[in-house]
Structure 1
Amino acid sequence: MKFGYWVPFFGGWLRNVEDEHMTADWSYVKKLAQQSEELGYDLTLIAELNLNDIQGEEAPSLDAWSTATAIAAVTNRIELMVAVRPTFHSPAPLAKQAASIDHISGGRLTLNVVSSWWQDEAKKYGVHFEQHDDRYARTAEWLHVVGNLWKQDHFSFTGKYYRVEDSILQPKPLSKPRPFLYAGGESEAAKELIASQCDGYVMHGDTPDTIGRRINDLRAHRERLGLPPMKFGVAAYSTVRNSEQESLGLRTLTVREQAISHCYPTALQG
């Protein structure tokens, strides 16, 4: 089982607490990453949003990929699970950028592939926002290009969304056979994509029965494709108090008592 936390890249994640006393600045993120590594956390998820959807669009938020590069340089062990949205990144430059961060981190980079969801943000950043299944079709093509650039040189591809000609990417990522790919989603388009091209399925928290059904569903998709078993992750909020009674009576979380974790139970990996 692995435990991780979400980088508070725009000052916290709670919608019902006005001030979590988290600052959206590099010094705070750096301190948290180093302390989390010292405490034994296994990974950190670096989400990608250009606008702050928690505290308002005009509130500050850090860029995911430059932040991931900086964290890679000041940590030694923790896995860097960086979210990437294909609608915002051309595949070849992103493959190059990811390979470089993988080298900086010593092979600790993993990707959380997100097929976008916030149409207003896309418009404000000049990005074309497609219908749901079209976004997943784009992601599938994007992953094909990125994956091949990580494996081979002189790669060419012409598809509906992307085209590369005789592309070369050096150095290749340190991670073998490539950086680990996570993704989430509950539509059939999402599940088919994840089962066929990704390594881990991540979910929002829910009841054990619901999580169990989702895991079994993805396992069935995966088995039909004849691919190795996936890993599974669940996002959860944890409240920390001196007693169970205090924890049960808590209505809101303060910053220092909030921990957001991704768990990958080994019993659920096969």
Structure 2
Amino acid sequence: MKIGLQIPSFTWPGGDAAIGQHLAEIGQRADEAGFASLWVMDHFFQIQFAGPVEDPMLEGYSALSFLAAVTRRVTLGTLVTGVIYRYPGILAKTVSTLDVLSGGRAWLGIGAGWYEREAKGLGTPYPPLKERFEQLEEALQIVLQMWAGTVAPFEGKHFHLAETLNQPQPVRKPRPPIMVGGTGEQKTLRMVAQYADACNLFDRMGADAIRHKLDVLKRHCEQLGRPYEEIEVTTLGTAHLAPGAQSADDIITHCKSLAALGVHHAIFNMPNVSELAPLTVFKEQIIPAVADL
């Protein structure tokens, strides 16, 4: 099993001026500890699950570019980009740039978007859900066309590109992996089966719900003729390594239960990650213990 780190909050000691220092230290320690992946949210306002809306929130791809410069091995992505925030052709260029500058370590994490307050707050269009899903599917088609090196028009219902030129192409071959985030059974998981390399589920859903969602994904794969085994199953959860909270053994046991469900890549955020000590526990105890799951 691979272990990833998500950084959803930048409310750290020292205030705004110290964010860069903390982020660099966390990225470097995660890289050295053997984390497989490093993720930030693609939000502009803090989300209610992580803190007050006024809390600091970095723009995702700027933060990932910063992390690319201070790390050497860990892969980098957003968990996940809302399709409404960037034109798909520009998004393909953005992720391509991250991949080139990081030496082939970029992911494309993408979803339909949901945070109406930040969209309206910053003047981004926020169409109805049906339209956002239509845009998501077209965006996936555009990105795949651009990363295939095909220079041709794209004519969709929502997006119209005259020339899908993308130079330089990503370093990673055949292309950066695509994660479609979300749990919707009719649209999201079908798009995972049709276009993506990975899905992402919340581990707080519980074993029965995760098992059910993966069964739905398997059915979509069967209907589309896609080998289910090609898809990397990832989860997002919280690891709070602190007295009175969780221990290393607790996290290891949890990872074993996820692996038994068919999860390949467990991603965790950590409320006290800026203390750095939790990353050492992962390095010395958790990552070695789950590596062969």
**1:123 and 2:87 matched:** no
Question: Structure 1 stretch 233-242 or stretch 204-213: which is displaced more?
Answer: 233-242
Q: Distance in 1 between matches of 2:143 and 2:128?
A: 22
CA RMSD of aligned residues (A): 2.9
SS at match of 2:104: coil
Structure-2 change in CA distance of 1:38 and 1:194 (3 Å): same
Kindly indicate whether the alpha-carbon contact (under 8 Å) linking 1:153 and 1:166 is maintained by their aligned counterparts in 2: no
SS at match of 1:182: strand
Q: Distance in 1 between matches of 2:196 and 2:24?
A: 29
**1:219 and 2:244 matched:** no
Structure-2 change in CA distance of 1:242 and 1:58 (3 Å): closer
1:33 to 15, 27, 38: 27
Task: Report how far residue 22 of structure 1 moved.
Answer: 8.4
Q: Distance in 2 between matches of 1:47 and 1:39?
A: 21
SS at match of 1:155: coil
SS at match of 1:4: strand
Counterpart of 1:16 in structure 2 is none
Counterpart of 1:139 in structure 2 is 136
Task: Report how far residue 238 of structure 1 moved.
Answer: 2.1
Counterpart of 1:236 in structure 2 is 237
Q: Distance in 1 between matches of 2:120 and 2:136?
A: 19
Query: Which one has the bigger helix percentage?
Result: 2
Counterpart of 1:59 in structure 2 is 55
Counterpart of 1:17 in structure 2 is none
SS at match of 1:71: helix
Counterpart of 1:183 in structure 2 is 180
Q: Distance in 2 between matches of 1:240 and 1:196?
A: 38
* Structure 1 runs not aligned, ≥5 long: 12-19
Aligned length: 254
SS at match of 2:153: strand
- The AA in structure 2 aligned to 1:209 is D
Counterpart of 2:198 in structure 1 is 200
Task: Report how far residue 154 of structure 1 moved.
Answer: 2.4
Q: Deviations over 1:81-123 (max 9, x none)?
A: 2232210101112211211110111111001112111111111
1:48 to 42, 45, 51: 42
Q: Distance in 2 between matches of 1:74 and 1:117?
A: 31
Q: How does 1:258-269 map to 2 (within 5 A)?
A: none
Task: Report how far residue 9 of structure 1 moved.
Answer: 4.5
Task: Report how far residue 129 of structure 1 moved.
Answer: 1.0
Task: Report how far residue 58 of structure 1 moved.
Answer: 2.7
2:103 to 106, 113, 135: 106
Q: Distance in 2 between matches of 1:27 and 1:247?
A: 27
SS at match of 1:113: strand
Counterpart of 2:261 in structure 1 is none
Q: Deviations over 1:160-183 (max 9, x none)?
A: 111111331111111222210112
Kindly indicate whether the alpha-carbon contact (under 8 Å) linking 1:241 and 1:247 is maintained by their aligned counterparts in 2: no
Kindly indicate whether the alpha-carbon contact (under 8 Å) linking 1:5 and 1:45 is maintained by their aligned counterparts in 2: yes
TM-score scaled to structure 1, two decimals?
0.84
Counterpart of 2:3 in structure 1 is 3
Q: Distance in 2 between matches of 1:210 and 1:81?
A: 25
Kindly indicate whether the alpha-carbon contact (under 8 Å) linking 1:133 and 1:189 is maintained by their aligned counterparts in 2: no
Identity of aligned residues (%): 25
Counterpart of 1:155 in structure 2 is 152
- The AA in structure 2 aligned to 1:47 is M
Q: Distance in 2 between matches of 1:158 and 1:69?
A: 31
Q: Distance in 2 between matches of 1:200 and 1:166?
A: 28
Task: Report how far residue 218 of structure 1 moved.
Answer: 0.7
**1:94 and 2:91 matched:** yes
Kindly indicate whether the alpha-carbon contact (under 8 Å) linking 1:237 and 1:258 is maintained by their aligned counterparts in 2: no
Q: Distance in 2 between matches of 1:60 and 1:242?
A: 27
* Structure 2 runs not aligned, ≥5 long: 250-270
Kindly indicate whether the alpha-carbon contact (under 8 Å) linking 1:181 and 1:199 is maintained by their aligned counterparts in 2: yes
